[in-house]
Structure 1
Amino acid sequence: MKVRFLLLILLIYNTFSYAQASTFALAENYFRNNEFKKAAQLYKQLVDKSPYNTTYLQRLISSYHEINQFETAEKLLADKLKNRPNLAPLYVILGYNYEKKQDTVNANVNYKKAINGIIKNPGYGGSIADLLRGYNKLDLAIKAYKKASEINKNANYGFQIARIYGEKGDFEFMFNEYINYLDKNDSYLNFVKRNVARYITDDSEDENNILFKKALLRKSAKNPKDVWNDLLSWLFIKQKDYSKAFIQNKALYQRNNDRLAGIYQLGEIAFENSDYETAKKAFDFTIANTSYQRDKFNAILMNLHIAVATKDPEVAQKFKAVFDEFGINRNTFPIQVAYADYLTFQKNQPEQAKKVLETALPFATNKFQKARVKLKLADVLVYQNIFNKALIYYSQIQTQLKNHELGQLARYKVAQTSYFKDDFKWAKAQLKVLKGSATQLIANDAADLFLVISDNEPKDSIPSGLKAYAKADLLSYQNKNEEALTILDSILKNYKGQSIEDEALFKQASLYVKKELFDNALQNYEAIIALDPQGILADDAYYRIAEIYANKLNDIEKAKEYYQKIIFEYPSSIYLVDARKKYRKLRGDTI
């Protein structure tokens, strides 16, 4: 009998709750569609059933405001406060009702009553502040949150206060609040990073970056903690100041040896951004301090990548020294694969590279490592113009590791190899799939190659220069730069005025830079701009001209001129932030 009774009560409650939810949904629909009279009638029903539900009451009052029934709203609120004078959030709603009537005196009186009500009942602090924020009374909302925090020392409204300061544009106060919020509980570190990231850029001279850095340094001086070094490192990485980030990470490591992984990760980021000096410091530090074989050999491998990237004349000896010290085994497996790449693309010794890969294959301990060997072997075959065999290897990896990054890379290699052998239709089919790749780098490369093919495919059997361009691209891949330049010259003569012209100029310019023929490269980039100042490659050309003047020819004034072109004429360029930062640095701006 008791069970039946309880089930009956539960059924009645659920039916009642469902009815209320349906009524509220309908009222909300009327409100959104500006049918405020109908909305008010429904909200009134809900308030009659739940007299002190703030959500229903606030929506009812808002509906009254829209139909100019301010006196009705005032009477309703006054009656409720007469019955429950300690229900402080209602004073906010009443205050706003007076404000809508342009009675600022009574509005402020009621806002003050609401905030003073927090003293009697601190539990109302959050809801009062939320109501004030909802009515755009931001300073009063901050005051309410701070009052609640003063009375209840366990409450932490730092995030809410910081968010309001952000809405007000008071960024210095906002950063201070986020830092104070974190000071109370450093488990909120990632949460604070996510919110601060909305306001800072990768420009170290941006005003917000400076304000955030100053706030961190002040807090660090007063109350030293690991979390401040962590945030400083994060800020410096955002700003691409990797050497400063390395200093912060070393300070963290001195206090906590578990922080070594962060130093290695910083090395990878610095390497990807061509800061090879900081990258090498990070990897050397990892090698000297790690207790794990895997981390040690990964860092050794990255140092060898740096040697190759910087054209270290002793890179071959460095590979040999690693193998002499550590042997040819599982530990050095990834280094063997990298050595095969070096032999092929830097030393033009593809047959020797194949032998290295054949030796490495037995040390592959899983399908991913085996795929890496096959992938590199296929790269060597493409280097040798053995396309069909390379495609077999790439296709095997693509099938076996379909959803893995290696599988996606293999699909891109299938497309690229098909493009090299003039099978443009198949290449496009693969690239179309890859444009949506989860791996951004592969997706970008796929999109770029797709555009090259789409924009320049022969139409109605009329030659477009794409076959010749693909041949030049292959020769560039094989480091046969002189031959590639000769073909690009012929494209520029034979297909002048066609869509392939700017692509050929751009490709040729990149090869001139490799050969340090900077004047030739500059001429090509200028020619691209002259062809179409608003073309897809125009901002790329401006940026590369600026980089040549800044980093190769040491002509600061010219570099500034071209960085400035991007800043003022290409506001949507991906180079905008970097150009602004470099321009300011060359101008000699100081913080």
Structure 2
Amino acid sequence: MNKLLAFIFLFTSTLLFSQSEQLSDDYFKRGEFEKALIGYQQLYQKNPSNNNYLFQLIKSHQQLKQYDAVQQLLLEKIAINNNPQLLVELGYNYQLQENVASAKKYYDEAFSKIEENPNFVFGIAHQFEDHSLLEEAIRAYKRAMELNPNLNFNIQLAQIYGEQGDVEGMFSNYLDYIETKPAFINNAKRAFSDFVSENKENENNLILKKLLLKNLQSQPHDYWYELLSWMFVQEKDFSKSFVQEKALYRRNPESLSRIIELGVMANEDEQDEAAVEIFSFVLETAQDVDTKLLANQYLLDIEVENAQEKDFSSINKKYLDIFETYGTFEQTLSLQISYGNFLAFYLKQPQEASNFLKKSLKLNISPFQEASVKLKLGDILVLQEKFNEALIYYSQIQANLKNSTISQEARFKVAKTSYYKGDFEWAESQLKILKSSTSQLIANDALDLKLLISDNKYEDSLHVALKLYAKADLMAFQNKTDEAIDLLGKILTEHKGESVEDEALLKQAQLFEKKKQYEKAVTNYKNIIANYSEEILADDALYFLAELYNNHLAEPEKAKELYEQIIFKHEDSIYSVEARKKFRMLRGDAIN
């Protein structure tokens, strides 16, 4: 019974103590320093060994300009406690009174404690940092490291230099720390990413590259190659990054995974020349079949994307040579799907493509692989405008792999096929379901298509303009780019002023870009910006035009103005984050 009472008493006391501390902290945060002072005095009296209560008590006195009380409290504490943090605090109390000489006296006394025992630096430097006395903190950390080389405060120094805006000092200390702890490299990348940008001429980028090259020349460790490669990736300079990755691979030729990852990034960034260079190296270097097939697929996909009709015959031969070498088995399935796409959409041989892919379905493949083949077969049927047959394939995927991402993609294709057919009601019903898709890309595409249908179907009960637009959209899917552009032009002439006009302008602009007819695309985008500034596609037009100026027309100032409009006039736009990033890069900001 006595034990139970003792436990209840202890628990109640602890609870009341905790509540009292929370109340005092709340008073302090609200600026009610008299009330906070009373609370901290009571807490400190009950537990004088708790330094947190002591320092909060001191801060409350200082906020009330009760410096003498702080001085008396600290001198009493110093007399019985050899804690050098208290010397820093006493010096700071004098500094608040603008008594520089006395402040320096106690700071120097704190520094002398580091000479006696370098381990005292932990408390001393922390106390200096707590009062933003950063130069003093730097001096303390550096002296402790000189006295005891086993101590390492490079991270603390890097963070202080970062606060001071000394970017080179920050970079240098992080790099020094990596030398002792190479596993820290990913943390360093995260820290560096706040200070570098895509702009190759950004001063911070130049500083970091200079330091890395200097380290690489004096000590060619793997981590310097890796960091320099990472730096070039931040600048989207994949070719220079590849030089570093090749050097790394030759030092440790165990895996091509890093180089493959770099090639994928270059491909996604549409830097085809760099991607081809990287995947060509992978193809020449790889020993295993799967990696060779992966490299072949990327190389062929890039070649197809950029091919003219005169190139199709040689591309076709490359596919056939690969199948002759490796066979049409399970391991070449991705290439088989890619070849089926090439036959149908480029060589205009949809029946041959379907026959070829139907053979792939007979292989010993997984349900997901089977779904990928059926998805492409459905696309080929849509190409031929055999919509009902295409819907069968898409529906089979939905039935067999419910709730998977590929099932949601099939549902979207069902909606898109119904839209091509002119069955707008059924398309809308499918798109409503997809708005909550787990795939953000599918959800966004579904929302865009639903808005297109709902915004245009009520204006004309016969849906004349919407049907024409869906036909042009289908032509674009069928790779009939010129025909699609012409049909969109007809919509813009015959349905001028109708709600579909801005959609037609945007779609036509994107097709002009595909044809590299950039000035025509500019005209369309400007038309949307001028005449549909309050409509839903205004931010799309602003962003696409900015990208056109920035990436193809070498007019960064015009791009910068457009990015700025997105930032300030379209804060909720899906492009706002990228626009802000690119605007700051073009403005030459030092920090991303």
Q: TM-score range by the shorter chain?
A: 0.7 to 0.9
**2:114, 2:144 within 8 Å by CA — same for their partners in 1?**
yes
Aligned to 2:542: 539
Aligned to 1:492: 492
Matches within 5 A, 1:93-242: 93-242=89-238
CA separation of 1:389 and 1:536: change in aligned 2, threshold 3 A: same
CA separation of 1:494 and 1:327: change in aligned 2, threshold 3 A: same
**1:398, 1:407 within 8 Å by CA — same for their partners in 2?**
yes
SS at match of 1:331: helix
- The whole-number CA distance in structure 1 between the counterparts of 2:441 and 2:160 is 37
SS at match of 2:256: helix
CA separation of 1:234 and 1:444: change in aligned 2, threshold 3 A: farther
CA separation of 1:151 and 1:441: change in aligned 2, threshold 3 A: farther
Aligned to 1:589: none
Give the counterpart letter for 1:60 in structure 2.
L
Deviates more, 1:196-205 or 1:506-515: 506-515
**1:27, 1:39 within 8 Å by CA — same for their partners in 2?**
yes
CA separation of 1:172 and 1:564: change in aligned 2, threshold 3 A: same
- Does residue 88 of structure 1 match 2:84? yes
Matches within 5 A, 1:500-519: 500-519=500-519
Any idea what the Cα deviations from partners look like across 1:293-346, whole Å, max 9, x if unmatched?
222211111111122122144211111111111111122111101111112222
Give the counterpart letter for 1:21 in structure 2.
S
- Does residue 75 of structure 1 match 2:72? yes
SS at match of 1:362: coil
CA separation of 1:208 and 1:427: change in aligned 2, threshold 3 A: farther
1:54 corresponds to which of 42, 51, 55: 51
- The whole-number CA distance in structure 2 between the counterparts of 1:273 and 1:364 is 35
- Does residue 293 of structure 1 match 2:296? no
Matches within 5 A, 1:433-472: 439=439, 441-442=441-442, 444-446=444-446, 448-449=448-449, 452-453=452-453, 455-456=455-456, 458=458, 461=461, 465-472=465-472
- What is the Cα deviation at residue 244 of structure 1? 0.4
**1:364, 1:370 within 8 Å by CA — same for their partners in 2?**
no
- What is the Cα deviation at residue 464 of structure 1? 8.9
Matches within 5 A, 1:334-349: 334-349=334-349
Aligned to 2:571: none
**1:30, 1:38 within 8 Å by CA — same for their partners in 2?**
yes
- The whole-number CA distance in structure 2 between the counterparts of 1:360 and 1:503 is 39
1:256 corresponds to which of 248, 252, 256: 252
- What is the Cα deviation at residue 439 of structure 1? 4.9
CA separation of 1:431 and 1:107: change in aligned 2, threshold 3 A: farther
**1:485, 1:508 within 8 Å by CA — same for their partners in 2?**
yes
Deviates more, 1:30-39 or 1:166-175: 30-39
Any idea what the Cα deviations from partners look like across 1:522-557, whole Å, max 9, x if unmatched?
43334334435783244235336536864xxxxx6x
- What is the Cα deviation at residue 423 of structure 1? 5.1
Deviates more, 1:441-450 or 1:313-322: 441-450
Any idea what the Cα deviations from partners look like across 1:127-161, whole Å, max 9, x if unmatched?
33223222221222222222333333333221221
- The whole-number CA distance in structure 1 between the counterparts of 2:24 and 2:421 is 65
Give the counterpart letter for 1:31 in structure 2.
F
- Does residue 528 of structure 1 match 2:528? yes
- The whole-number CA distance in structure 1 between the counterparts of 2:259 and 2:284 is 12
- What is the Cα deviation at residue 433 of structure 1? 6.5
CA separation of 1:35 and 1:234: change in aligned 2, threshold 3 A: same
Give the counterpart letter for 2:394 in structure 1.
Y
- The whole-number CA distance in structure 1 between the counterparts of 2:108 and 2:450 is 64
- What is the Cα deviation at residue 581 of structure 1? 7.0
- What is the Cα deviation at residue 570 of structure 1? 5.7
- The whole-number CA distance in structure 2 between the counterparts of 1:64 and 1:355 is 86
**1:203, 1:577 within 8 Å by CA — same for their partners in 2?**
no
SS at match of 1:224: coil
- What is the Cα deviation at residue 254 of structure 1? 0.7
Any idea what the Cα deviations from partners look like across 1:368-420, whole Å, max 9, x if unmatched?
21221122222223223344443454355456556654344334434433443
- The whole-number CA distance in structure 2 between the counterparts of 1:396 and 1:47 is 73
- What is the Cα deviation at residue 59 of structure 1? 1.7
- Does residue 33 of structure 1 match 2:30? yes
**1:398, 1:410 within 8 Å by CA — same for their partners in 2?**
yes
CA separation of 1:29 and 1:566: change in aligned 2, threshold 3 A: same
Q: What is the TM-score of this pair, normalised by structure 1?
A: 0.86
**1:333, 1:364 within 8 Å by CA — same for their partners in 2?**
no
- The whole-number CA distance in structure 2 between the counterparts of 1:93 and 1:408 is 63
- What is the Cα deviation at residue 192 of structure 1? 0.5
Any idea what the Cα deviations from partners look like across 1:557-582, whole Å, max 9, x if unmatched?
xx456446447766676357668879
Give the counterpart letter for 1:82 in structure 2.
A
Deviates more, 1:511-520 or 1:561-570: 561-570
- What is the Cα deviation at residue 237 of structure 1? 1.0
> Which ranges of structure 1 fall in alignment gaps of 5 or more residues?
551-555, 585-591
Aligned to 1:588: none
CA separation of 1:330 and 1:95: change in aligned 2, threshold 3 A: same
SS at match of 1:332: helix
Give the counterpart letter for 1:318 in structure 2.
K
Query: RMSD in angstroms over aligned alpha carbons?
Result: 3.3
Q: What is the TM-score of this pair, normalised by structure 2?
A: 0.86
- What is the Cα deviation at residue 181 of structure 1? 1.2
- The whole-number CA distance in structure 2 between the counterparts of 1:39 and 1:491 is 72
SS at match of 1:363: coil
**2:344, 2:350 within 8 Å by CA — same for their partners in 1?**
yes
**1:458, 1:464 within 8 Å by CA — same for their partners in 2?**
no
- What is the Cα deviation at residue 243 of structure 1? 0.6
Residue identity over aligned pairs, in percent, reads 40
CA separation of 1:517 and 1:156: change in aligned 2, threshold 3 A: same
Deviates more, 1:303-312 or 1:562-571: 562-571
- What is the Cα deviation at residue 444 of structure 1? 4.9
**1:464, 1:500 within 8 Å by CA — same for their partners in 2?**
no
Aligned to 1:587: none
Residue correspondences, number: 573
- Does residue 270 of structure 1 match 2:273? no
- What is the Cα deviation at residue 180 of structure 1? 0.9
